[in-house]
Amino acid sequence: MKTKLLLALLVGSLAATAHAQVKVEDAIKWRQSAYATMGWSMGRIKANIDGTYNKDEVIKSANVIQAIANSGMGALYVPGSDKGKGWVDTRVKPELFTDGPKVGKIATEFNQAANELAKVAATGDAAAVKAAFGKLGASCKSCHDDYRTKQ
Protein backbone atom coordinates (compact mmCIF):
# COMPACT_ATOMS: atom_id res chain seq x y z
CA MET A 1 0.00 0.00 0.00
CA LYS A 2 2.88 2.38 0.79
CA THR A 3 4.37 1.77 -2.67
CA LYS A 4 1.07 2.52 -4.37
CA LEU A 5 0.62 5.74 -2.43
CA LEU A 6 4.20 6.84 -3.03
CA LEU A 7 3.93 6.16 -6.75
CA ALA A 8 0.62 8.01 -6.97
CA LEU A 9 2.10 11.00 -5.17
CA LEU A 10 5.20 10.98 -7.37
CA VAL A 11 3.29 10.75 -10.62
CA GLY A 12 0.71 13.25 -9.36
CA SER A 13 3.44 15.74 -8.53
CA LEU A 14 4.93 15.27 -11.97
CA ALA A 15 1.54 15.94 -13.52
CA ALA A 16 1.06 19.04 -11.36
CA THR A 17 4.48 20.25 -12.44
CA ALA A 18 3.40 19.80 -16.06
CA HIS A 19 0.79 22.50 -15.57
CA ALA A 20 3.49 24.90 -14.40
CA GLN A 21 4.86 25.65 -17.88
CA VAL A 22 6.86 22.46 -18.24
CA LYS A 23 9.13 22.14 -21.23
CA VAL A 24 7.60 20.07 -24.01
CA GLU A 25 10.58 17.71 -23.96
CA ASP A 26 10.14 17.09 -20.25
CA ALA A 27 6.41 16.39 -20.63
CA ILE A 28 7.18 13.88 -23.38
CA LYS A 29 9.94 12.28 -21.31
CA TRP A 30 7.73 11.95 -18.22
CA ARG A 31 4.81 10.42 -20.08
CA GLN A 32 7.15 8.05 -21.96
CA SER A 33 8.56 6.97 -18.59
CA ALA A 34 5.09 6.40 -17.16
CA TYR A 35 3.98 4.36 -20.17
CA ALA A 36 7.20 2.33 -20.05
CA THR A 37 6.56 1.58 -16.38
CA MET A 38 2.99 0.53 -17.15
CA GLY A 39 4.27 -1.65 -20.01
CA TRP A 40 6.74 -3.34 -17.70
CA SER A 41 3.99 -3.92 -15.15
CA MET A 42 1.68 -5.35 -17.80
CA GLY A 43 4.48 -7.69 -18.87
CA ARG A 44 4.82 -8.90 -15.30
CA ILE A 45 1.10 -9.61 -15.10
CA LYS A 46 1.12 -11.44 -18.44
CA ALA A 47 4.05 -13.58 -17.29
CA ASN A 48 2.05 -14.58 -14.21
CA ILE A 49 -1.07 -15.34 -16.25
CA ASP A 50 0.91 -17.44 -18.73
CA GLY A 51 3.20 -19.08 -16.16
CA THR A 52 3.20 -19.73 -12.45
CA TYR A 53 0.70 -17.35 -10.91
CA ASN A 54 2.00 -15.26 -8.02
CA LYS A 55 -0.81 -13.22 -6.49
CA ASP A 56 1.54 -10.78 -4.73
CA GLU A 57 3.44 -9.96 -7.93
CA VAL A 58 0.20 -9.41 -9.83
CA ILE A 59 -1.14 -7.13 -7.08
CA LYS A 60 2.05 -5.03 -7.11
CA SER A 61 1.93 -4.64 -10.87
CA ALA A 62 -1.80 -3.90 -10.99
CA ASN A 63 -1.38 -1.27 -8.29
CA VAL A 64 1.38 0.46 -10.27
CA ILE A 65 -0.83 0.55 -13.37
CA GLN A 66 -3.78 1.85 -11.34
CA ALA A 67 -1.68 4.58 -9.71
CA ILE A 68 -0.33 5.84 -13.01
CA ALA A 69 -3.72 5.61 -14.72
CA ASN A 70 -5.25 7.80 -12.01
CA SER A 71 -2.34 10.22 -11.70
CA GLY A 72 -3.62 12.95 -14.00
CA MET A 73 -1.22 12.09 -16.79
CA GLY A 74 -3.39 14.04 -19.21
CA ALA A 75 -1.54 17.11 -17.94
CA LEU A 76 1.56 15.80 -19.72
CA TYR A 77 -0.09 16.30 -23.10
CA VAL A 78 0.88 19.95 -23.27
CA PRO A 79 0.46 21.96 -26.47
CA GLY A 80 3.21 21.14 -28.92
CA SER A 81 3.97 17.75 -27.40
CA ASP A 82 2.72 15.98 -30.51
CA LYS A 83 6.16 16.83 -31.90
CA GLY A 84 9.56 16.60 -30.31
CA LYS A 85 11.62 14.21 -28.32
CA GLY A 86 11.64 12.97 -24.76
CA TRP A 87 13.77 9.86 -24.37
CA VAL A 88 12.87 9.14 -28.01
CA ASP A 89 10.78 10.92 -30.62
CA THR A 90 7.16 11.16 -29.56
CA ARG A 91 4.72 8.88 -31.36
CA VAL A 92 1.60 10.87 -30.44
CA LYS A 93 -0.54 11.79 -33.42
CA PRO A 94 -1.77 15.39 -33.58
CA GLU A 95 -5.38 14.10 -33.60
CA LEU A 96 -5.06 13.28 -29.91
CA PHE A 97 -5.20 17.03 -29.26
CA THR A 98 -8.27 17.66 -31.41
CA ASP A 99 -10.48 14.62 -30.71
CA GLY A 100 -11.40 15.71 -27.17
CA PRO A 101 -14.60 13.70 -26.58
CA LYS A 102 -13.20 10.50 -28.09
CA VAL A 103 -9.91 10.83 -26.22
CA GLY A 104 -11.83 11.49 -23.00
CA LYS A 105 -13.92 8.36 -23.53
CA ILE A 106 -10.82 6.23 -24.15
CA ALA A 107 -9.07 7.71 -21.08
CA THR A 108 -12.12 7.04 -18.91
CA GLU A 109 -12.32 3.44 -20.13
CA PHE A 110 -8.62 2.99 -19.45
CA ASN A 111 -8.93 4.34 -15.89
CA GLN A 112 -11.94 2.11 -15.23
CA ALA A 113 -10.11 -0.93 -16.59
CA ALA A 114 -7.00 -0.15 -14.50
CA ASN A 115 -9.12 0.26 -11.36
CA GLU A 116 -10.97 -2.98 -12.05
CA LEU A 117 -7.73 -4.88 -12.63
CA ALA A 118 -6.33 -3.71 -9.29
CA LYS A 119 -9.57 -4.66 -7.55
CA VAL A 120 -9.65 -8.11 -9.15
CA ALA A 121 -5.93 -8.71 -8.56
CA ALA A 122 -6.51 -8.30 -4.83
CA THR A 123 -8.83 -11.32 -4.89
CA GLY A 124 -6.13 -13.64 -6.20
CA ASP A 125 -8.52 -15.13 -8.78
CA ALA A 126 -6.23 -15.80 -11.76
CA ALA A 127 -9.11 -16.32 -14.22
CA ALA A 128 -10.73 -13.03 -13.21
CA VAL A 129 -7.35 -11.26 -13.49
CA LYS A 130 -6.90 -12.68 -16.99
CA ALA A 131 -10.31 -11.30 -18.03
CA ALA A 132 -9.66 -7.88 -16.45
CA PHE A 133 -6.18 -7.79 -17.97
CA GLY A 134 -7.71 -8.43 -21.40
CA LYS A 135 -10.05 -5.46 -20.94
CA LEU A 136 -7.16 -3.24 -19.91
CA GLY A 137 -5.16 -4.34 -22.94
CA ALA A 138 -8.11 -3.59 -25.21
CA SER A 139 -8.39 -0.08 -23.78
CA CYS A 140 -4.67 0.48 -24.40
CA LYS A 141 -5.01 -0.81 -27.95
CA SER A 142 -7.92 1.50 -28.73
CA CYS A 143 -5.75 4.52 -27.96
CA HIS A 144 -2.69 3.12 -29.73
CA ASP A 145 -4.72 2.35 -32.86
CA ASP A 146 -6.01 5.90 -33.21
CA TYR A 147 -3.43 8.14 -31.56
CA ARG A 148 -0.01 6.49 -31.76
CA THR A 149 2.10 6.36 -34.90
CA LYS A 150 3.44 2.99 -35.99
CA GLN A 151 7.16 2.33 -35.79
Q: Residue ranges of the alpha helices (H) in 20-92?
A: 24-50, 55-69
pLDDT of 130 reads 98
To the nearest 10°, the Cα dihedral for 33, 35, 37, 38?
A: 170
pLDDT class for 145, splitting at 50, 70, 90?
A: very high
Q: Does domain 2-147 correspond to CATH entry 1.20.120.10?
A: yes
pLDDT of 151 reads 81
pTM, rounded to two decimals: 0.83
Backbone angles phi, psi at 66, to 5 degrees: -60, -45
Helices and strands (H and E) in the chain: how many: 5, 0
**Mean pLDDT across the chain, nearest whole number?**
89
pLDDT tens readout for residues 42-54: 999 999 999 999 9
Of the candidates 133, 136, 144, which has an alpha carbon nearest to the alpha carbon of residue 113?
136
pLDDT tens readout for residues 79-120: 999 999 999 999 999 999 999 999 999 999 999 999 999 999
pLDDT class for 21, splitting at 50, 70, 90?
A: confident
pLDDT class for 33, splitting at 50, 70, 90?
A: very high
